[in-house]
Amino acid sequence: MSFPASNLPVISIMGPTASGKTDLAMKLADELNGQLISVDSALIYRDMDVGTAKPTIEELTNYPHKLISFLDPKEVYSAADFVRDALKEIESAYRANKTPILVGGTMMYFKSLVEGMSQLPDANEQIRTEIETLAKEKGWDFVHQKLAEVDPDSANRIHPNDPQRINRAYEIYLISGKTMTELLAIEKTPIPYPIKQFAFMCEDKSLLHHRIEQRFNIMLEQGFEAEVRKLYERGDLHLDLPSMRSVGYRQMWEYFDGKWNWDEMVFRGVVATRQLAKRQLTWLRSWPDVIALEIGKEKENLQRVINSLS
């Protein structure tokens, strides 16, 4: 069945890690003349291929993905950055008469794109550096306390061990004189295109857990240790960066630091990935206007998406 791309909505394929999102998205790209747009906060980084289960070179050649491998791991990329870039890629796809197909598991990115974001001030490198200097001198707990004095709601939402979000919330106040809580309350502008959302659900946790453990072991066989070792030895990366907090990377990094032995690192990496999948599913169970897909039912899922467009 063939559809004119210009008549189709944006297709959104969501789900927990290791659920089969990419495989379905690539099949849909064939059916719908699709342009794949990654919605994944780890796939954006260069030199992080094995541990993020990034599509292979062959897959990317046959099915190019937008918003993959364009940032260095030392850089920070926000949900607002993603929304800006994703809207550009959606518009570009439509101009090329292709169907935009969003695929990934970073639920905050999906939520920010679909529902819109409040207008927060752009990052200010000088102020951000001043906050980081303060944190080095007195600790992030102190900065979190300072944030609580001016914006207690944000401080309650942000964990004291989350320096990126603490920095951003305090930065917003120092730039604008208004709190993040105040600015987030302003009406948002939702995605300006029709969208059809699909999500892999999983009632059988043992199935997903097995797939996660299997995939983690495959990543180890494919050279995950060497990939992280190369990042570890660069000298300009650390565990406070969003890239290095990605599941698997943190555990391998801590193995290099001597915090865990090999078996403990593998165990913790698998557990962290399972916890990520649990959080993703929690988001999805309350997600509005979503059509459920079943893990492991490749043909049925493809047909379900196609039928919904008829």
**Rounded CA separation 101/38 (Å):** 8
Whether the pLDDT of residue 2 is over 60: the answer is no
Q: Both 197 and 132 in a single domain? A: no
Span 138-189, pLDDT tens digits: 999 999 999 999 999 999 999 998 999 999 999 999 999 999 999 888 878 8
Whether the pLDDT of residue 212 is over 60: the answer is yes
Q: Give the domain extent around 156.
A: 125-184
Span 274-297, pLDDT tens digits: 999 999 999 999 999 999 999 999
Whether the pLDDT of residue 4 is over 80: the answer is no
H or E element that contains 65: strand 65-66
Tokens of 36: 């794949």
| Mean pLDDT of all residues in 93-116 | 96
Q: Both 10 and 74 in a single domain? A: yes
Domain with 142 in it: what CATH number?
A: 1.10.20.140
Alpha helices in the chain (DSSP H): 21-32, 57-62, 79-95, 107-115, 125-138, 140-150, 152-157, 163-176, 180-184, 205-221, 224-232, 249-256, 262-285, 298-308
Proportion of the chain above pLDDT 90, given as a percent = 88
pLDDT value for 173: 95
Among 184, 203, 234, identify where a domain stops.
184
Among 184, 201, 232, identify where a domain stops.
184
**Rounded CA separation 210/147 (Å):** 41
Query: For 233, phi and psi rounded to 5 degrees?
Result: -85, -5
Whether the pLDDT of residue 1 is over 60: the answer is no
> What's the distance, Cα to Cα, between the start and end of the chain in Å?
10
Residue 12 · residue 198 · CB < 8 Å: yes
- Give the pLDDT band of residue 244 (cuts 50, 70, 90): very high
Tokens of 124: 């200010």
Q: Which of 10-14, 164-168, 260-264 has the lowest mean pLDDT?
A: 164-168
Q: Both 137 and 80 in a single domain? A: no
Q: Both 103 and 151 in a single domain? A: no
Which pairing describes strands 195-201 and 290-294: parallel, antiparallel, or unpaired? parallel
Whether the pLDDT of residue 301 is over 70: the answer is yes
Q: Both 66 and 159 in a single domain? A: no
**Rounded CA separation 223/229 (Å):** 10
Write down the mean pLDDT value for the chain: 94
Task: Identify the three-state secondary structure at position 270.
Answer: helix
Span 219-235, pLDDT tens digits: 999 999 999 999 999 99
| Mean pLDDT of all residues in 256-282 | 97
Q: Both 51 and 65 in a single domain? A: yes
pLDDT value for 118: 78
> Tokens 């990496």 label which residue?
269
Span 108-129, pLDDT tens digits: 999 999 999 877 888 899 999 9
Domain with 213 in it: what CATH number?
A: 3.40.50.300
**Rounded CA separation 279/16 (Å):** 8
pLDDT value for 184: 82
Number of structural domains found in the chain? 2
Q: Both 244 and 289 in a single domain? A: yes
Tokens of 26: 């690539």
- Give the pLDDT band of residue 44 (cuts 50, 70, 90): very high
Q: Both 73 and 209 in a single domain? A: yes
- Give the pLDDT band of residue 307 (cuts 50, 70, 90): very high
Q: Both 110 and 42 in a single domain? A: yes
Q: Both 150 and 281 in a single domain? A: no
Q: Both 40 and 174 in a single domain? A: no
pLDDT value for 5: 61
Span 48-88, pLDDT tens digits: 999 999 999 999 999 999 999 999 999 989 898 999 999 99
Among 166, 184, 202, identify where a domain stops.
184
Q: Both 150 and 235 in a single domain? A: no
Task: Identify the three-state secondary structure at position 8.
Answer: coil
